[in-house]
């Protein structure tokens, strides 16, 4: 058994148990930023299909070495307008959309391909972070994504402020769930709430996450 093998099995079991307790189903996104293509390949051989990357250029370089695999690529890092074209061409999911200005750029660059699956990133409690829209801007942003013909609105993503205070994290996750449930009412295609990382994914699942983003617990610490 490789080290990946036991880490992967452990994470899948823990995620599935947490989902069972919550009465839900959850998917695991393997966050492979800074990790080499061989590490991605090893995990893919165990059955993992969805991989998350933070940096567009780094992801494209790795993707070139993995074209023989049928993987699903998610951008989870901040997006600049000059990268919209590359994201629309090279990714299946964008989890970090946070402003309206990017929507027409992405929409145009995605022409002729299957719709780009989009999550809107919400800044739920981290005043020090500039990423994510404020909750008040969410309804208008969601409507604009839903109207773009080459984008498909699938839900929300959040990175709560890193804090050892579990009650605080839980509160942030619970607030995301409220926003998510409100969003599903007006948008029938919305089915994905992306929250929870290596340290807190079980807590996130208990509060309604349907997609957890796991890096360190799968691949080991990043340099
Ligand atoms: C790096 C990263 C993760 C994974 O974090 P781990 O603590 O290593 O599991 C998840 N989501 C985002 C947005 C990240 O940047």
**89 Cα–ligand 1 center, Å:** 23
pLDDT band at 4 (very low <50, low <70, confident <90, very high): confident
Ligand 1 center–CA 214 separation, angstroms: 6
pLDDT higher for 163 or 81? 81
Q: What is the pLDDT of residue 2?
A: 59
Tokens coding 90: 């090279």
Q: d(Cα 91, Cα 81) in Å, to the nearest integer? A: 15
pLDDT recorded at residue 207: 98
Phi, psi for residue 16 in degrees, rounded to 5:
-70, -40
Interval 9-61: pLDDT, tens: 999 999 999 999 999 999 999 999 999 999 999 999 999 999 999 999 999 99
Mutate to test the pocket of ligand 1, among 197, 201, 202, 217 (most ligand atoms within 8 A of CB): 197
| Neighbour-count burial of 167, counting CB atoms closer than 10 A to its CB (0-12 exposed, 13-18 middle, 19+ buried) | exposed
pLDDT tens digits, one per residue of 169-195: 999 999 999 999 999 999 999 999 999
Closest CA to 119 of 59, 75, 55: 75
Work out which ligand 1 atom sits closest to the CA atom of 33: 1
For ligand 1, atom 12, the nearest C-alpha belongs to: 76
Residue 222 token pair? 């990043």
- The end-to-end CA distance of the chain, in Å, is 24
Give the total residue count for the chain: 223
pLDDT per position as a tens digit, 206-221:
999 999 999 999 999 9
What's the chain's average pLDDT?
96
Query: Which pLDDT does position 183 carry in this prediction?
Result: 98
Q: Is 1 helix (H, G, I), strand (E, B) or coil?
A: coil
Cα 176 to ligand 1 centroid, rounded to whole Å: 17
């Amino acid at each position: 058994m490789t080290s990946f093998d036991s880490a992967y099995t452990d994470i899948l079991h823990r995620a599935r148990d947490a989902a069972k307790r919550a009465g839900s189903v959850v998917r695991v996104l393997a966050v492979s930023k800074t990790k080499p293509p061989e590490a991605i390949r090893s995990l893919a051989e165990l059955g993992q299909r969805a991989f998350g990357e933070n940096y567009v250029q780094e992801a494209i370089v790795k993707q070139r070495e993995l074209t023989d695999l049928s993987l699903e690529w998610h951008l989870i890092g901040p997006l600049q307008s000059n990268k919209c074209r590359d994201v629309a061409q090279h990714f299946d999911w964008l989890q970090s959309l946070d402003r309206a200005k990017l929507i027409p750029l992405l929409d145009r660059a995605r022409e002729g391909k299957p719709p780009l699956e989009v999550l809107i990133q919400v800044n739920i409690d981290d005043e020090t972070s500039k990423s994510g829209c404020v909750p008040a801007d969410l309804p208008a942003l969601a409507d604009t994504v839903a109207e773009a013909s080459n984008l498909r609105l699938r839900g929300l993503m959040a990175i709560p402020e890193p804090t050892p205070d579990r009650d605080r994290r839980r509160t942030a996750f619970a607030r995301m769930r409220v926003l998510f449930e409100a969003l599903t009412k007006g948008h029938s295609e919305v089915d994905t709430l992306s929250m929870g990382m290596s340290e807190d994914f079980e807590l996130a699942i208990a509060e309604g996450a349907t997609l957890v983003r796991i890096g360190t617990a799968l691949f080991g610490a990043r340099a």
